[in-house]
Amino acid sequence: MKLLIVEDEPLLRQRLSRLCQEIVGPTFSAVAVGSLAQAREALQDRAFDGLLLDLNVAGHDGFGLLLEAAAGAMHVIVVSGHGERALEAFELGVLDFVPKPFSRERLALALQRLEGMQVTGGRTLRHLAVWRARGVALVDVEQVVCIAAIPEGSELHLQGGATELHAKPLDRLLPLLPTGFVRCHRTWIVNLAAVRLLHSSRGSRSWLELQDGREVPVGRSRLAALRERLL
């Protein structure tokens, strides 16, 4: 597991690095920095599995970096004393929020969630951060009708026919989405609120007809569970 740790207090930064090493073991490596500028530089140079981010870094708001990271392939774990901002962070797609002061056990739980990509916070995601030519933009998750796997990550299909690209693959994106989003095929996620009908043919082919007329394939191994969700 490769982590980027962003914490401006040197002793706390060292403690986070040490505890992560103890918890994860020999597969762990990290870059630990004390400023948002250093964090952005590290993100340009290396790929990480996760970001451990304080929300107040040397007097600067960490939400800008949170959005940039949330639009990327990695997951974000916030480690912060600003518990009043937890809901806001979850709405933007963080995997976990570890309040300060934290225990070794609470940090271990967050890292286990990162390894298993299990979200906490009740899946309260409201916006997906996406990269556009002029920077990061927010997409209302309720506008997403289905999501397709692509080599670069995922393609968000929105109401009205527009599409957006997201750097996270389906396996990393699904744990963050509200529970109304389900994996219906190895290459598709669908928003059940956008489904009109489930169709099956004699050749064991099944597909979903969406409210806007689009069709999304259904894998045979996922058909029974999907039928149950649509009842």
Tally Cβ neighbours within 10 Å of residue 43: 19
Mean pLDDT, rounded, for 219-228 = 92
Which residue is associated with the tokens 């990393």?
172
- Residue in 122, 128, 132 with CA at minimum distance from that of residue 140: 128
pLDDT of residue 204: 78
CA 156 to chain CA centroid, Å, is 14
The yes-or-no verdict on residue 153 having pLDDT over 60 is yes
**pLDDT, position 209:** 96
Which pLDDT value is given to residue 117? Answer: 61
pTM, entire model: 0.85
Query: Taking residues 125-141, what's their average pLDDT?
Result: 90
Between CA 154 and CA 211, with CA 164 as vertex, the angle to 5 degrees is: 90
Please tell me the distance from the alpha carbon of residue 36 to that of residue 42, in angstroms, as a whole number: 10
- Give residue 205's identity as a one-letter amino acid code: R
Q: pLDDT tens digits, residue range 72-131?
A: 999 999 999 998 999 999 999 899 999 999 999 999 999 998 987 655 554 678 999 998
Rounded to whole angstroms, the Cα distance separating 1 from 65 reads 20
Contacts of 117 (CB under 8 A, 6+ apart): 75, 95, 171, 172, 175
Structural domains of the chain in order of their starting residue, each with its CATH number: 2-116 (3.40.50.2300), 127-230 (2.40.50.1020)
Give 61's contacts (C-beta < 8 A, 6+ positions apart). Answer: 55
Mean pLDDT of 210-219: 95
pLDDT of residue 134: 81
Q: Quickly tell me which residue has 């073991």 as its tokens.
A: 25
Which DSSP helix (H) or strand (E) runs through 98? strand 96-99
Which residues lie below 8 Å from residue 103, measured CB to CB, with a gap of 6+?
A: none
Give pLDDT, residue 40.
95
4 — pLDDT class (breaks 50, 70, 90): very high
Summarize the confidence of residues 17-39 as an average pLDDT: 94
Task: Give the number of other Cβ atoms within 10 Å of residue 209's Cβ.
Answer: 14
How far apart CA 204 and CA 93 sit, in angstroms, is 36
For residue 115, the model assigns a pLDDT of: 86
Q: How far apart are CA 156 and CA 71, in angstroms?
A: 12
Please name the residue that has the structure tokens 């509200």: 178
Which segment of 119-123, 168-172, 186-190, 198-202 scores lowest on mean pLDDT? 119-123
